[in-house]
């Protein structure tokens, strides 16, 4: 697996278009997508699924089953509301085939809802656009800041006001990480959290003229040319391009990026293949 580190973020990743996508954040025990369930996924307690295509979701029954075999608490999956029933049905069918019952937790989640991961960390879905029900995700750190009118007060006065029950803080969500899943470019155009995330993992399935922008859109994906056209939207510190089609070799991807990317992106872009 590819290991990606930036500031406090550590991700174990596989991201190959049509083959396998899974991003595990071991320190928070969460994963975005499950791919084909690589070993480290089994120790992850919460899964956030972007959509049901097999390169992103095939490992789900294996994940639940392995956790039961290892006598770990049941894993918990958060998915688009339209996937709860069919995924539950698939896993129940595996119960039947295996002659072995285990608890599964598959919950619906939609944009506007937040799951508290631990302490000040939250995950929230982001609207995305693909050929099947889908959503991206953002990982946020919720920080408390003194309201501007209290900024000049001394520590003791602040303590006193706090104890009086007065709300003297404002909450601010800092997007640390965002992931598009499979989506068209509207994911960036319409999600401020994705544009502002410190680290953005964004799909870039096609990069050449043989598969032009129109083809990418037809299949619900992003073409490199669209990322370049929208370069001004990206406020991210790091942008990781991922989910490249298997038709491109790592060398071809590197060379294409070197020639095509504008300077403003060149210095911030990493690739994962």
x/- track of binding to Zn ion for residues 173-192 (CB under 5 A): ---------x----------
How far is the C-alpha of 246 from the C-alpha of 163, rounded, in Å? Answer: 59
Shortest Å, Cβ 273 to Zn ion = 13
The dihedral over CA atoms of 30, 32, 38, 40, expressed in degrees to the nearest 10, equals -20
Is the CB of 221 or the CB of 238 nearer to Zn ion? 221
Task: Kindly tell me which of 37 and 176 has the beta carbon lying closer to Zn ion.
Answer: 37
Burial 237-267 (b: 16+ CB within 10 A, else e): ebbbbbbbbeebeeeebeeebeeebeeebee
Smallest distance, Zn ion to C-beta of residue 167, A: 43
Nearest-approach distance from CB 245 to Zn ion, in angstroms: 10
Residue with tokens 């410190």: 198
- Pairing between β-strand 199-203 and β-strand 169-179 as defined by DSSP bridges: parallel
Q: Which is nearer to Zn ion, 182 or 225 (CB)?
A: 182
* Residue 149 burial (10 A CB sphere; 0-12, 13-18, 19+): exposed
Kindly tell me which of 53 and 211 has the beta carbon lying closer to Zn ion: 53
CB of 12 to Zn ion, least distance (A): 18
At its nearest, how many Å lie between Zn ion and the CB of residue 177? 19
Minimum CB separation of residue 131 from Zn ion in Å reads 7
Beta-carbon count within 10 A of 70 CB: 9
Toward Zn ion, which CB reaches closer, 182 or 226? 182
Is residue 12 close enough to count as binding Zn ion by CB under 5 A?
no
**To the nearest whole angstrom, how small is the minimum distance from the Cβ of residue 55 to Zn ion?**
5
Residues in contact with Zn ion, shown as a per-residue x/- string from 86 to 125 under the rule CB under 5 A: ----------------------------------------
- Please name the helix (run of DSSP H) or strand (run of DSSP E) that holds residue 46, with its range, or none: strand 46-48
Instruction: Count interface residues toward Zn ion (CB under 5 A).
Output: 3
Choose the binding region for Zn ion from 37-45, 47-55, 66-74, 166-174 (rule: CB under 5 A).
47-55
Counts for the chain of helices (H) and strands (E), in that order: 10, 14
Helix, strand, or coil here: 191? coil
Site string for Zn ion, 50-79 (x = CB under 5 A): ---x-x------------------------
Burial class (CB in 10 A: 0-12, 13-18, 19+), 56: buried
Angle between helix 84-98 and 60-69 (nearest 10): 50
Cβ proximity of 168 and 162 under 8 Å = yes
Smallest distance, Zn ion to C-beta of residue 222, A:
11
- Contact residues for Zn ion, defined by CB under 5 A: 53, 55, 182
């Amino acid at each position: 697996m590819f290991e990606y580190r930036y500031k406090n973020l550590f991700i174990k990743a596989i991201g190959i278009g049509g083959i396998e996508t899974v991003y595990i954040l071991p320190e928070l025990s969460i994963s975005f997508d499950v791919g084909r369930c690589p070993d480290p996924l089994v120790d992850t307690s919460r899964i956030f699924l972007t959509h049901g295509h097999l390169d992103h979701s095939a490992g789900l029954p294996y994940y639940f089953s392995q956790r039961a075999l290892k006598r770990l608490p049941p894993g918990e999956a958060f998915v688009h509301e339209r996937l709860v029933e069919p995924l539950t049905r698939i896993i129940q069918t595996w119960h039947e085939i295996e002659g072995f019952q285990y608890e599964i937790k598959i919950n619906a989640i939609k944009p506007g809802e937040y799951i508290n991961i631990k302490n000040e960390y939250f995950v929230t879905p982001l609207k995305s656009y693909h050929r099947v029900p889908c959503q991206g995700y953002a990982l946020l750190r919720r920080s408390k800041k003194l309201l501007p009118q209290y900024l000049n007060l001394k520590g003791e006065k602040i303590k006193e006001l706090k104890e009086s029950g007065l709300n003297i803080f404002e909450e601010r969500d800092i997007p640390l990480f965002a992931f598009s899943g499979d989506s068209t470019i509207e994911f960036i155009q319409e999600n401020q959290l994705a544009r502002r995330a410190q680290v953005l993992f964004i799909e870039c399935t096609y990069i050449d003229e043989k598969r032009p922008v129109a083809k990418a859109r037809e299949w619900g994906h992003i073409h490199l040319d669209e990322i370049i056209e929208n370069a001004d939207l990206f406020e991210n510190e790091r942008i990781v391009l991922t989910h490249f089609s298997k038709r491109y070799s790592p060398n071809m991807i590197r060379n294409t990026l070197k020639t095509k990317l504008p300077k403003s992106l060149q210095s911030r872009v990493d690739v994962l293949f």
